[in-house]
Structure 1
């Protein structure tokens, strides 16, 4: 659920974006002050004491669940977000992040058009929603808010291999938009960056931001017997639909972040053709070729 995870187009004030993920609630966001590239000012001074406290409570609840469920790379990097007592200032966080991997954090009003999203990633600028959820959404929010984007996404941008993958993904997305293949790439983002699992010597662990920022799905994705966990397969993922308003029916497992980076290296043009010819799969589909964990 990053600032553009549902990839949409034609956004204007009062016009609901069209999303690829299946769900029943339209996204929200105030785009009145967005620039041409859809970035905006964070306006940190407008956060209320109650909003800062809501961020603190979200952070502390999620951080307590990480051991044994989140990958060690994430656990080691989350400290870079600073003290959880206040929503971080994006400019200060960007200084630290840029020194590590050359990335920076920029504010956006919420979901942004796919080409704007890809262009920001290609330039190593990660878009973070500048508003925070309502107290009644404490347990679950469909749209990406500042907590989801900061806590879920930003820590792994301190990892050089993952940071390079995200830039390569953005560059690939700019090409995909010209090939009318963005929905395929959206699925790759969903099942890796948002809801990916990684195999470690200690067992399966979460690295996807949608999992890591969710109170319930973190334990569900790693320990529940209900979902299926399948080995990473680029074309299989690009064929697989997903829902944006429920836990996942399937999770895809990587062996390491190098596998992600290598997956984005080839030219996807022939991949898109093969995937289109093979047809779509439902989120809970099982194929004879699937590696099942």
Structure 2
């Protein structure tokens, strides 16, 4: 993995590095560069008045140029100066991974760029959204801290099984929409699949709700007052269409608070309302309000139920500090958890580091253990001193008979006692039998081997994923659905060569072909390519070739007459070419 000499990237754990892909800068075509340039010129000119004030200087801080798609090396050279980094990934990555990158102060940048057909708004993550949207604003310290803190909270959020299905469906649809090889049948099938999943999600999970807060702040947030809001959300900053339309009075502006959780969102449509925060400190306050309701802070039976519903590896944390990672099944519980149970590979850890000898290979068949106090005990077993252990008959190589207040009985020979930070966390017994005396159910039999009993009065935290991700998640695969690399047919290659010629003409590298000849090539071979005309018009005005400029404008008007949906894109491009606002802005 290329780290570009950025220590922020060098510190990334291995389980995140597997999502990173090379940028392959040479794959960007001349058309791609023109798309980037058009969007950035429009953003640069328009957002100066409606974006939160650090945006324009933030572009420079992030190592971004309006003239060319950013190179990740240049971005990292700039971002590392403010303690951040950037890495390229393949489209949508799982929300938990996205959040964890954010917690490590790394912006994940989709390596691809939108097609010209999606120049105003892309259904898939792309380098315009991630770099020109997210990167400039992180130069603001309070916002950068919020972004990192959100990532830390997000890594703990509980998923539901449906969330995983929804992620794969959204990723698949976004890839199909951006591919020039997708058939109408494939698109219809993917849209139908997504609709079916969305209509049957059930109660939203912690991650689903947290994603809403992320959407209405990081992606589509406004800051200031209801009467005079400014844009700071990356989705708006990178959308030349919605950054304008969102400021209309018809789009309601609501005060940002926890009630934003009630508003779901659709990534394929303009947002029906937006939320305004008075400042970035308020964002953290609202996030903390929600975090106080999450399983990683409250634990208990509610957290265990969410872990069971997840059907993917989660971590339960005992009050002793012992962490149990695995796929949880229903154990024994009334008002409180009495016995936990996992199925399949399970690992034990402390302070997010796997305990030696207690990895998922050793606990390959699952794990089960009581939770709670011993019967008539005055204090939790995790706090027992040597006298307490002796009083309850818990001594090495001696047979112990432990009865929990829940009715669970553990009978066996004690082989070892593990302490961490002056708390007992694990007692190993062999041979051992564990029985629920209330139901006479055998929970562990001596024939099954050695019994490792977790120690703790309560489950104080539950979160999605592994405690020690490096140890537990080795070999975990990323999504099998990959972004499609666009293939250029002969006509597309010819168009790209023409765009390359336009680009060279603008920077003074093409002297053998006149601007008029380029214009006539566009008119002959690609008569409705509005972006090629806009770039040529810009040069004609700059060269004071007014007859050619007038002729190009007439061609653009003909395109508007035949293709009304292109009206705003064309008129915005003409306006900017005539007013040369970029030169003025660069001189600020």
TM-score (norm 1): 0.75
Quote the Cα distance in structure 2 between the aligned partners of 1:131 and 1:195.
21
Matches within 5 A, 1:74-223: 74-80=55-61, 81-100=63-82, 102-177=83-158, 180-199=205-224, 203-222=228-247
Alpha-carbon offset, residue 152 of structure 1: 0.8
Alpha-carbon offset, residue 79 of structure 1: 2.6
Secondary structure of residue in 2 paired with 1:150: helix
Alpha-carbon offset, residue 196 of structure 1: 0.6
Quote the Cα distance in structure 1 between the aligned partners of 2:210 and 2:260.
9
Alpha-carbon offset, residue 139 of structure 1: 2.2
Quote the Cα distance in structure 1 between the aligned partners of 2:27 and 2:261.
40
Alpha-carbon offset, residue 200 of structure 1: 5.5
Which residue of the partner structure matches residue 30 of structure 1? none
* Residues 207-240 of structure 1 deviation map (CA, whole Å, 9 limit, x = unaligned): 1111111122112222x12121110102x11221
Residues 94, 104 of structure 1: 8 Å contact kept: yes
Quote the Cα distance in structure 2 between the aligned partners of 1:35 and 1:181.
22
Alpha-carbon offset, residue 124 of structure 1: 0.8
**Any unmatched runs of 5+ in structure 2?**
1-14, 161-204, 298-588
Residues 79, 85 of structure 2: 8 Å contact kept: yes
Which residue of the partner structure matches residue 254 of structure 2? 230
Compare CA radii of gyration and give the structure with the larger one.
2
> Greater share of strand residues, 1 or 2?
2
Secondary structure of residue in 2 paired with 1:77: helix
Quote the Cα distance in structure 1 between the aligned partners of 2:81 and 2:285.
24
Quote the Cα distance in structure 1 between the aligned partners of 2:103 and 2:127.
21
Residues 196, 207 of structure 1: 8 Å contact kept: yes
Structure with the larger RCO, 1 or 2 (CA within 8 Å, 6+ apart)? 1
Quote the Cα distance in structure 1 between the aligned partners of 2:93 and 2:152.
16
Indicate yes or no: 2:37 matched with 1:56: yes
Residue of structure 1 aligned with 2:271, choices 226, 236, 248: 248
Quote the Cα distance in structure 2 between the aligned partners of 1:35 and 1:182.
19
Residues 16, 97 of structure 2: 8 Å contact kept: no
Indicate yes or no: 2:45 matched with 1:45: no
Secondary structure of residue in 1 paired with 2:250: coil
Quote the Cα distance in structure 1 between the aligned partners of 2:88 and 2:273.
31
Residues 37, 116 of structure 1: 8 Å contact kept: no
Residues 157, 294 of structure 2: 8 Å contact kept: no
TM-score (norm 2): 0.38
Alpha-carbon offset, residue 271 of structure 1: 6.2
Residues 70, 212 of structure 1: 8 Å contact kept: yes
Which residue of the partner structure matches residue 268 of structure 1? 291
Quote the Cα distance in structure 2 between the aligned partners of 1:61 and 1:227.
21
Residues 251, 274 of structure 2: 8 Å contact kept: yes
Which residue of the partner structure matches residue 29 of structure 1? none
Quote the Cα distance in structure 2 between the aligned partners of 1:245 and 1:47.
25
Structure 1 residue runs of 4 or more that deviate by more than 6 Å after TM superposition: none
**Any unmatched runs of 5+ in structure 1?**
1-33, 274-293
Residues 225, 276 of structure 2: 8 Å contact kept: no
